Amino acid sequence: MATGVAGGLTRSRRRFPRGAAVTLVLLLLAVVLVPLFARLDQQLVDLHAASLPPSLRHPFGTDEVGRDVLLRAVYGLRVSVLVGLAAAVVSVTIGTLAGLAAGAAGGTLDRLIMRIVDGFNSVPHLLFGIFIVALFTPSTTAVVVSVALTHWMTAARIVRSEVLTLRARPFVDAAISGGSRRLRIVRRHFLPHLIPHIMLAAVLMIPHAIWHETALSFLGLGLPAHLASLGNMINDGARSLLAGNWWASLFPGLFIFLPTLAISALAQYWRDRSNPRWRSELQL
Amino acid sequence: MLRAEGVVVSYGRQRVLGGVGIEVSPGQVTGLAGPSGCGKSTLARVLAMLLKPAAGRLTVDGVDVRRWRHRVPRELRGQVALIFQQPRLAVDPRFTLLDVIAEPLRAAHRSIEHARELAEEMGLTPELLSRRPHEVSDGQLQRACVARSLTLRPRYVICDEMTTMLDASTQAHLVARLEAYRLESGAGVLAITHDDELLIRWTGPSGGSIRHLSEMAPAA
Ligand SMILES: Nc1ncnc2c1ncn2[C@@H]1O[C@H](COP(=O)(O)OP(=O)(O)OP(=O)(O)O)[C@@H](O)[C@H]1O
Ligand SMILES: [Mg+2]
């Protein structure tokens, strides 16, 4: 990836990933605007127009029941992004609370929480995710819960290790000396310092969550089949792949791939910028 | 009386304090000197109830300190204030100077008016109070730290090399401000510094004694 090259240069001089930002903005605009102005219905089944290759009328072609792939991919991206966002928020919230409790309390509670983190980590994510979804009927909530429960550990580890370094800083001693209780120290000193880390973890989690949703849907365990999620589309498209209809799965695939790369590039840029050396400059 | 007896502190295998004792009397300035790395700051943290010693006893006006850090009752914590050696590290970089000074009052759900008065006495203008630590000088930051240490009207103030990095006039101003507080409140001051001349000048008026940390440790 491009990071290899950029990482070799000085970290501090990394340039703003303009291509990634443009890609992301275009995709977001598509997600918001296309449904508003579309002349076509994404659910519209038109068997006369089934499996048409890309053309002017259907830029991404049509699927095996004649639905417009571009339109459905845009709807699918919307569903996937929303699911990814929800899963990222839930998992990072769980992780933050666990990491804060472990780092701020220390002792037995810390050991207990880290044991649980190790336990969750020792199970393969996808397998565990599948197990959780299998307990529910396919639904958006089930997918969000499954992704969140398999991904909160990263945030927990990040938050805990940050809290441990914060705890040792003299300004925390000063706060204790000034009469602050533990919860107040968490609220006034720990959380504000953690927010950039938490946001970064959440943003990095979004593409990850999208991939999980896709994988679960591809296996038929994710979102209900009628919802145009990217995973469902690739799953449907894969069936007609042998008939030569490459477009029905390729374009939805790109819709996962491009935003994932774009978000990662932006998040990495942000992480470098919020390096401690830059904090005062950013006035974080 | 703020009294420590037989204080033992080790960092890992390294024993920093081996059975040290010290007394700080109300109304007096007690001096504490000693070479760099002999454990002065460590002892200061023990006296401020921020570091639990491996052994030893600490009493504040006769009250035994049995718990440490945030487990100390808030009333007791407020009795002993600590002014840190490095002001940069002793303030949250996200706070404004006003937040720094007012935090102990806010934590106690009290009006922050007193914080503004203290800031003014320390020569901090309202404009400076709205700045963050990275936008002010070391001297201005240490003034804010001195103001913060006095907000809860402590019975004892521990000054850990408070003026080491500062110029002579700032140093004189900070010492004068603490002297004024001592005379007005009858508080005890522990002045920790390398600077023998400053120590003599500071402890002289109250007739306080000067202790050398290397002398205090009993032969191990
Ligand atoms: N958190 C810590 N972890 C490990 N060792 C420490 C820690 N803090 C201090 N020390 C060590 O303990 C010893 C005493 O440190 P301390 O800061 O109390 O000395 P000091 O007398 O205040 O020195 P100075 O005059 O330079 O401020 C030093 O050898 C130091 O390296
Ligand atoms: Mg020191």
- The C-alpha atoms of residue B83 and residue A111 are separated, in whole angstroms, by 34
Question: Which CATH number covers residue B63?
Answer: 3.40.50.300
Q: Which residue has the CA at smallest separation from atom 4 of ligand 1? A: B11
Do B61 and B27 share a structural domain? Answer: yes
Do B67 and B7 share a structural domain? Answer: yes
pLDDT bin (cut points 50, 70, 90) of residue A44 is low
More confident residue, A68 or B184: B184
Domain assignment of residue B86, yes or no: no
pLDDT of residue A274: 64
- Calculate how close chain A gets to B211, using CA atoms only, in Å: 25
Domain assignment of residue B66, yes or no: yes
Convert the pLDDT of each residue in A223-281 to its tens digit: 777 777 788 788 777 777 777 778 878 888 888 888 888 888 887 787 777 655 444 43
Domain assignment of residue B83, yes or no: no
- Count structural domains, chain B: 2
More confident residue, A59 or A262: A262
* Chain B touched by A122 (CB under 8 Å): no
Do B2 and B73 share a structural domain? Answer: yes
* Chain B touched by A274 (CB under 8 Å): no
Is it the case that residue A14 has pLDDT exceeding 70?
A: no
Query: How far from the centroid of its chain's Cα atoms is residue A280's Cα?
Result: 29
Average pLDDT over residues A110-114: 94
Convert the pLDDT of each residue in A114-134 to its tens digit: 999 999 888 887 788 888 878
Mutate to test the pocket of ligand 1, among B9, B10, B11, B161 (most ligand atoms within 8 A of CB): B11
Question: Which positions 35-54 of A are in contact with B (Cβ < 8 Å)?
Answer: none
More confident residue, A47 or A3: A47
Do B74 and B6 share a structural domain? Answer: yes
Pairwise CB contact (< 8 Å): A180 & B90: no
For an interface test with B, the pick among A177, A191, A277, A282 (most B C-beta atoms closer than 10 Å) comes out as: A177
Do B73 and B158 share a structural domain? Answer: yes
The chain A residue lying nearest B83, using CA atoms, is A174
Do B157 and B144 share a structural domain? Answer: no
Q: Which residue has the CA at smallest separation from atom 9 of ligand 1? A: B42
What residue spans of B4-133 are helical by DSSP H?
A: 40-47, 74-77, 87-90, 97-107, 113-121, 126-129
Virtual torsion, Cα A240, A242, A246, A248, nearest 10 deg: 10
- Contacting residues for B135 by C-beta, under 8 A, at least 6 apart: none
Nearest bound ligand to the CA of residue B213: 1
Q: Which residue has the CA at smallest separation from atom 10 of ligand 1? A: B11
- Contacting residues for A138 by C-beta, under 8 A, at least 6 apart: A221, A222, A223, A224, A225
B81: helix, strand or coil: strand
Virtual torsion, Cα A48, A52, A55, A61, nearest 10 deg: 110
Convert the pLDDT of each residue in A155-174 to its tens digit: 899 999 999 999 989 999 99
Q: Which residue has the CA at smallest separation from atom 1 of ligand 1? A: B11
Convert the pLDDT of each residue in A188-231 to its tens digit: 999 998 988 888 888 888 888 888 888 888 787 777 777 777 88
Is it the case that residue A71 has pLDDT exceeding 90?
A: no
- Calculate how close chain B gets to A176, using CA atoms only, in Å: 6
Annotate B30-65 with b (16+ C-beta within 10 A) or e (fewer).
bbbbbeeebbbbbbbbbbbbbbebeebebebeeeeb
User: Which residues form the pocket of ligand 1, taking CB atoms under 6 Å from any ligand atom?
Assistant: B 11, 16, 34, 36-42, 85, 161
DSSP string covering A117-174: HHHHHHS-HHHHHHHHHHHS-S-HHHHHHHHHHHHHHHHHHHHHHHHHHHHTSHHHHH
Enumerate the β-bridge partners of residue B80.
Answer: B156
Do B57 and B108 share a structural domain? Answer: no
Nearest bound ligand to the CA of residue B84: 2
* Chain B touched by A115 (CB under 8 Å): no
The side-by-side arrangement of strands in the sheet containing B55-60 is B14-24, B2-11, B55-60, B63-64
Tokens of A246: 């490459």
Q: What are phi and psi of B186, to 5 degrees?
A: 75, 20
- The answer to whether residues B156 and B79 touch, using CB atoms and an 8 Å cutoff, is yes
More confident residue, A13 or B89: B89
Chain A residues in contact with B77 (beta carbon < 8 A) = 176-177, 179
Nearest by Cα to A263 from A90, A96, A81:
A81
Pairwise CB contact (< 8 Å): B103 & A185: no
Pairwise CB contact (< 8 Å): B103 & A188: yes
Question: Which positions 148-207 of A are in contact with B (Cβ < 8 Å)?
Answer: 169-171, 173-182, 184-185, 188-189, 192-193
pLDDT of residue A9: 43
pLDDT of residue A10: 46
The chain A residue lying nearest B135, using CA atoms, is A280
Pairwise CB contact (< 8 Å): B93 & A279: yes
Domain assignment of residue B9, yes or no: yes
- The C-alpha atoms of residue B28 and residue B206 are separated, in whole angstroms, by 5
Q: Which residue has the CA at smallest separation from atom 18 of ligand 1? A: B39
Do B41 and B64 share a structural domain? Answer: yes
Do B71 and B58 share a structural domain? Answer: yes
* Chain B touched by A281 (CB under 8 Å): no
- The C-alpha atoms of residue A171 and residue B84 are separated, in whole angstroms, by 9
The chain A residue lying nearest B131, using CA atoms, is A283
H-helix or E-strand containing A212?
helix A191-218
- The C-alpha atoms of residue B125 and residue B143 are separated, in whole angstroms, by 11
Do B214 and B160 share a structural domain? Answer: yes
- The C-alpha atoms of residue B19 and residue B57 are separated, in whole angstroms, by 10
Quote the domain boundaries for residue B18: 1-78+153-219
Residue type, A131: F
A50 CB burial (10 A radius; 0-12, 13-18, 19+): middle
Tokens of A125: 């994510």
Q: How many CB atoms lie within 10 A of CB A124?
A: 10
Nearest by Cα to A124 from A97, A147, A150:
A150
More confident residue, A55 or B217: A55
pLDDT of residue B100: 95
Nearest bound ligand to the CA of residue B160: 2
Nearest by Cα to A50 from A38, A34, A39, A66:
A66
- The C-alpha atoms of residue A15 and residue A2 are separated, in whole angstroms, by 12
Do B69 and B1 share a structural domain? Answer: yes
Supply the ipTM of this predicted assembly: 0.91
- The C-alpha atoms of residue A253 and residue A63 are separated, in whole angstroms, by 14
Nearest bound ligand to the CA of residue B42: 1
Chain B residues in contact with A279 (beta carbon < 8 A) = 93
* Chain A touched by B13 (CB under 8 Å): no
Do B66 and B159 share a structural domain? Answer: yes
The whole-number mean pLDDT for each consecutive block of 10 residues of chain B, a chain of 220 residues, reads 92 88 92 88 94 93 91 92 93 94 94 92 93 92 95 95 86 92 94 86 82 62
Is it the case that residue A3 has pLDDT exceeding 80?
A: no
For an interface test with A, the pick among B45, B92, B145, B149 (most A C-beta atoms closer than 10 Å) comes out as: B92
Q: Does domain A68-274 have CATH number 1.20.1440.230?
A: no
Looking at residue B110, the DSSP 8-state letter turns out to be -
Tokens of B117: 């008065």
Convert the pLDDT of each residue in A86-108 to its tens digit: 999 999 999 999 999 999 888 89
Q: Which residue has the CA at smallest separation from atom 3 of ligand 1? A: B11
